[in-house]
Amino acid sequence: MAGIRLDKLSFRYPGADTNTLEDLQLDIANGEAHALLGASGAGKTTLLNLLSGILSPTGGRILFDSEDVSALAGRIRNVAQVFQFPVLYESLSVFENLAFPLQTRRASAARIAERVDYVSAELGIAALHKRKPGTLTLSEKQLVAVGKALTRPDTSLVLLDEPLTAVEPRKKWRLRQALLKAQSDLGVTMIYVTHDQTEALTFAERVSVLTADGILQTGTPEEIYQSPAHEFVGHFVGSPGMNFVPASALGVAHGERIGFRPEWALIDAQGPIAGSIKRIRMQSTENGVPMGLITLDTRFGEIAVRSMANLDVGADIALRVNRYVVFAGKTRVGESALA
Amino acid sequence: MRSLKPRDNRAWFGVLPVVLIVAFSAVIPLMTVVNYSVQDILDFNTRFFVGFEWYRETLNDPRFLSAFVRQVVFSGTILLIEIPLGIAVAKGIPRNSKLTPFILILLALPLLIPWNVVATIWQIFARPDIGLLGVGINALGIPYNYATDPTHAWITIVAMDVWHWTSLVALLAFAGLTAIPRPFYQAAEIDGANRWQIFRLIELPRLRGVLIIAILLRLMDSFMIYTEPFVLTGGGPGNATTFLSQYLTTMAVGQFDLGPAAAFSVIYFLFILLFCWLFYSSVVRNDDS
Amino acid sequence: MIRSRWVLIAYVIYLVVPLYWLMSMAIRSNADIVGDFALLPNSPTLANFAEIISNPVWYEAFGNSLAYVVINTVISLAVAIPAAYAFSRYRFLGDKQLFFWLLTNRMAPPAVFLLPFFQLYSAIGLFDTPLAVALAHCLFTVPLSVWILEGFFSAVPRELDELAKIDGHSFPYFFFRIFLPINRGAIGVTLFFCFMFSWVELLLARTLSGAASKPIVVVMTRTVSASGMDWGVLAAAGVLTVLPGVLVVWFVRNHLVKGFALGRVS
């Protein structure tokens, strides 16, 4: 396993006018579970291909444990990858699939059996050993694919490219738990690439939000959610994303805009943000009180607030904001104290 | 997917034209053949029912049996050459080059040349007096003449069939190869698989479907081969390159032996069905295990 | 990969050399052909092509061939499209058996049908017309067309049909204005395969045509046996029969790869 460093990493496709990736700077600790979160077009796939060695950087360096691997071919870097859909050798049994990466490196049969059994126990797939991939469900196949990425003990990095996309929704949670457990038990450095914020925030120890303008923020899921470094992060993470109003609306002197999450506001007739209820979406019941997401029409545009839902569409109400983040020129310049 | 299709017998209206036209051009003639095969026809007004006599006679006819053996050897030979060669050619076609469409068109070309023209091309090419190939081989000191030497005739016909039909296998295999998603190759690279392992573990299993089609088509079409040997060698020298279709045509049209020819036809058709079924069911059985 | 590249190059050379020889013969005079052996024509001439263009036996034969190829292709597509749609969209009584029965016809050797065809078409007065050959070729092109089109049609999601219904389009409007245009690649490929069979076949074409509708493939074989040695004209006719194939393959070039997998490659 290795710590990964991207040092001013840039990439431009041949014939393109602009860089797809520009001056990326990122440090990932040895054994860390890291998520790369980004919308489509942000350059996730390009970055993935640079890490796995399919593409070579046109600027900057990629370091594995301070060794520059930028120019090395994928198979020398010892990077393993799990793809969007399960990639297995269909004519081999599950055991043979798991053993294959070790066999090609001429490990002894005893060593192979030991390692395959260990990884299989971690992922709970030992019972599948004798079966052919064709007889497995999608999520079982994807677990085996994960196992195949983990069997080699000298793997520096495991890349996961939207690995849950093809998995049935009901099985996603179980598969993610298995992944997390294996990751922490084996101490593998993992980079999990996804456009799905829930997957990123629940999987990773740290998350990087990638856009076409580069990495906007790297931090723990908590940091990303509670104090987004950039308006885009606030808007992109969370469901729905942050509400934005001019700083003057709350009487905040520094900064241009204020961002606050739906649950950071309360209905208060004296509040500074007034509007009429446009729609109500029921979400849950807390202690017998129906809770919902209320969307207001205000002079700042639509504002969402999580609140008791015992109100009617069309009613005029006002909001008080308990906690907020201040932005200037799109980036965070301050925030209120935690309420 | 298929099981989700709604059941609706009105769909029969859609297939009715096909059924009518195929019934007209297959069922009526086939019934005629079966009818002839159990009769002795002296002329169209004088016929006797002879039961399975013609079948017995055909199956004991040494000329039929030797044509049959030649046919099996020929089909086996060209399958053994064309299938691996077609796969190798397909693997050599660049995926996204500017040249790719031109290579594909060139490969498709032999498939669109009338079969007798294919034979004519090879005649002009292989004749020892005017052909580039014939003259060339003779210049090397080998007395090559496909019209007089049975071995040379065989080699020439096999070479011609390879020239004519390997493209079909290659285009099918190429279609199969391009359908393999890139991650399969990336994963193999990461796993440290060598070229042979990539072929055996990724490409071959994923080519299975198209290869079954290729083998079936080549098997049945080579079993029906008529025009090319007819034009190139006329079935000779002697009977060295007389295959089943040619023997049958001589019998039916040349000698007008209607009854035996019809029995021959039925046996011939059943053999092709049997071979295709044997091949197909052995493949499907392999699937289940 | 490198080794396969060499196999491809070697194979392409193997393909091209006999074709080169055909073309080179087509522009030589007979004296030149049977005279001293030469890799390149001594005095290239278009006389052989002129002979074909000016001789009605040759150009009428071309016309006859094209006539039955076109009729066959039109009939095959006209009956195969609705059938393939039915097979791809519905289950119905005997559908699997019917599909299999259609395919077995592709396995029947043409030689088996020679005599019955001759009698059948003579009896109904179609012998020696392009229609007879076209219908006879249907025996092979129709099952193949249904098979290919069914593969392509099944790949088009059924939601499309339902969407059109929800949008208030009538079935004919949906079928002709939406469904068929989407599948024009598939239809092009099917056309290619019908052409490929009907244009290249000799045995049935020869048996079912007499003096009036003699197709090009037959005229060519007769030339060999009659005058025996007119190699230049024969080669020129060969070159001309290759041309329609080149045209057809050029039109479907973009769908060629998918077509060769008969729509069944996912």
- Please determine, for residue C36, whether its predicted confidence score (pLDDT) is greater than 80: no
- Asked whether B115 and C205 are in contact (CB, 8 A), the reply is no
Q: B201, A89: Cβ pair inside 8 Å?
A: yes
Instruction: Look up the domain containing A260 and give its range.
Output: 241-335
Q: B186, A74: Cβ pair inside 8 Å?
A: yes
Q: A85, B184: Cβ pair inside 8 Å?
A: no
Minimum CA–CA partner of A96 in chain B:
B201
Tell the residue number behind the tokens 């190429």, with chain if given.
B174
pLDDT digits (tens, 9 = 90+) for A190-204: 999 999 888 888 888
pLDDT digits (tens, 9 = 90+) for A167-183: 878 888 888 888 888 88
Q: B245, C202: Cβ pair inside 8 Å?
A: no
Give A239's DSSP letter.
Answer: S
**What are the tokens at B223?**
């079993």
Q: Do chains C and B touch (3 or more CB pairs under 8 A)?
A: yes
Q: Which residue has the higher pLDDT, A5 or B258?
A: A5
Minimum CA–CA partner of A84 in chain B:
B183
Distances (CA, A) of A203 to A51, A115, A172, A313, B141: 20, 25, 12, 37, 76
What's residue C258's pLDDT?
A: 67
Q: Where are the domains of chain B?
A: 62-288
B283 Cβ under 8 Å from any chain A Cβ: no
What's residue C78's pLDDT?
A: 94
A329 and A216 fall within a common domain: no
- Asked whether A50 and A9 are in contact (CB, 8 A), the reply is yes
What's residue A128's pLDDT?
A: 92
A96 Cβ under 8 Å from any chain B Cβ: no
> Which one of B180, B189, B191 makes the best mutation probe of the A interface by having the most chain A beta carbons within 10 Å?
B191
What is the spatial distance between Cα B232 and Cα B147, in angstroms, rounded to a whole number?
8
Query: B265 to chain C: which residues are within 8 Å by CB?
Result: 109, 111-112
Amino acid at B33: V
Question: Is the bond preceding residue B237 a cis peptide, omega within 30 degrees?
Answer: yes
Q: Where do runs of H (alpha helix) occur along A53-92?
A: 74-77
A112 and A135 fall within a common domain: yes
What's residue A209's pLDDT?
A: 93
**What are the tokens at B256?**
């007008």
Angstroms from C106 CA to nearest CA on chain B: 9
What's residue A339's pLDDT?
A: 43
What is the spatial distance between Cα B159 and Cα A85, in angstroms, rounded to a whole number?
44
C104 Cβ under 8 Å from any chain B Cβ: yes
Q: To which H or E segment does residue C162 belong?
A: helix C159-166
Give B113's DSSP letter.
Answer: S
A258 and A228 fall within a common domain: no
Minimum CA–CA partner of B197 in chain A:
A104
Q: Where do runs of H (alpha helix) occur along chain A?
A: 44-52, 74-77, 94-103, 109-123, 138-150, 169-186, 197-203, 221-226, 231-236
| Sign, Cα dihedral of C146, C149, C155, C159 | negative
What is the spatial distance between Cα C233 and Cα A66, in angstroms, rounded to a whole number?
75
- Asked whether A291 and A328 are in contact (CB, 8 A), the reply is no
> What is this structure's pTM?
0.82
Query: B199 to chain A: which residues are within 8 Å by CB?
Result: none
Assigned fold of B62-288: MetI-like fold (1.10.3720)
Measured at the CA of A34, the angle between CA A29 and CA A39, to 5 degrees, comes to 140
A246 and A213 fall within a common domain: no
Size of interface B-C (CB pairs under 8 A): 310
**Nearest Cα to C5, choosing from B106, B94, B196?**
B94
Tell the residue number behind the tokens 């095969």, with chain if given.
B37
pLDDT digits (tens, 9 = 90+) for C188-223: 888 888 888 888 888 888 888 877 788 887 777 665
Query: C196 to chain B: which residues are within 8 Å by CB?
Result: 111-112
- Asked whether B119 and C221 are in contact (CB, 8 A), the reply is no
Is A129 exposed, middle or buried (CB count within 10 Å of its CB: 0-12, 13-18, 19+)?
Answer: middle
Those residues with Cβ within 8 angstroms of residue C26's Cβ, 6 or more apart along the chain or in another chain:
C48, C49, C232, C235, C236, C238, C239
- Find the mean pLDDT for residues C99-107: 81
Output the furthest CA–CA distance in chain C (Å, rounded): 75
- Find the mean pLDDT for residues C128-134: 88
pLDDT band, very low/low/confident/very high, at C229 (cuts 50, 70, 90): low
Q: Could you tell me the CATH number of the domain that includes residue A19?
A: 3.40.50.300
Q: A83, B193: Cβ pair inside 8 Å?
A: no
B32 Cβ under 8 Å from any chain C Cβ: yes
- Asked whether A323 and A338 are in contact (CB, 8 A), the reply is yes
Q: B22, C113: Cβ pair inside 8 Å?
A: no
- Asked whether A192 and A33 are in contact (CB, 8 A), the reply is yes
Those residues with Cβ within 8 angstroms of residue B67's Cβ, 6 or more apart along the chain or in another chain:
B239, B242, B243, B244, B246, B247
- Please determine, for residue C266, whether its predicted confidence score (pLDDT) is greater than 50: no
Q: Where are the domains of chain C?
A: 1-45, 57-260
- Find the mean pLDDT for residues C180-195: 84
Considering only CA atoms, give the Rg of chain B. Answer: 23
Last residue of a domain, which of A233, A260, A288? A233
**Nearest Cα to A105, choosing from A151, A65, A159, A50?**
A151
Query: B135 to chain C: which residues are within 8 Å by CB?
Result: 37
- Please determine, for residue A258, whether its predicted confidence score (pLDDT) is greater than 50: yes
B95 Cβ under 8 Å from any chain C Cβ: no
CB atoms inside a 10 Å sphere around CB A118: 15
Q: Which of B237-251, C25-39, C56-70 has the lowest mean pLDDT?
A: C25-39
C133 Cβ under 8 Å from any chain B Cβ: no
Phi/psi of residue C19, nearest 5 degrees: -65, -40
Query: B205 to chain A: which residues are within 8 Å by CB?
Result: 89-91
Q: Which of A96-105, B54-63, C38-47, C147-156 has the lowest mean pLDDT?
A: C38-47
- Find the mean pLDDT for residues C133-158: 87
- The DSSP secondary structure of B153-181, one letter per residue, reads HHHHHHHHHHHHHHHHHHHHHHHHHHTS-
A218 and A247 fall within a common domain: no
Is A161 exposed, middle or buried (CB count within 10 Å of its CB: 0-12, 13-18, 19+)?
Answer: buried
Angstroms from A70 CA to nearest CA on chain B: 16
Half-sphere exposure of B242 (CA within 13 A, CB side): 16
- Find the mean pLDDT for residues A52-76: 85
What is the spatial distance between Cα C81 and Cα C210, in angstroms, rounded to a whole number?
32
- How many structural domains compose chain A? 2
A71 and A144 fall within a common domain: yes
Q: A101, B194: Cβ pair inside 8 Å?
A: no
Domain C57-260 classified CATH 1.10.3720.10? yes
Is B247 exposed, middle or buried (CB count within 10 Å of its CB: 0-12, 13-18, 19+)?
Answer: buried
- Give SS3 for A339: coil
A33 Cβ under 8 Å from any chain B Cβ: no
B43 Cβ under 8 Å from any chain C Cβ: no
Q: C253, B176: Cβ pair inside 8 Å?
A: no
Angstroms from A87 CA to nearest CA on chain B: 6
- Asked whether A34 and A204 are in contact (CB, 8 A), the reply is yes
pLDDT digits (tens, 9 = 90+) for C73-89: 999 999 999 999 999 88
Size of interface A-B (CB pairs under 8 A): 49
Q: Which residue has the higher pLDDT, C63 or C43?
A: C63
- Find the mean pLDDT for residues C92-115: 82
Distances (CA, A) of A27 to A5, A36, A207, A223: 5, 12, 11, 17
Q: C138, B244: Cβ pair inside 8 Å?
A: no
Query: C4 to chain B: which residues are within 8 Å by CB?
Result: 88-89, 91-92
**Residues of chain B where predicted confidence (pLDDT) is lower than 50:** 1-3, 289
What's residue A181's pLDDT?
A: 85
Write down the mean pLDDT value for chain C. 83
Amino acid at A14: P
Strand A331-335 relative to strand A325-328, pairing = antiparallel
Q: A54, B192: Cβ pair inside 8 Å?
A: no
What is the spatial distance between Cα B215 and Cα B278, in angstroms, rounded to a whole number?
12
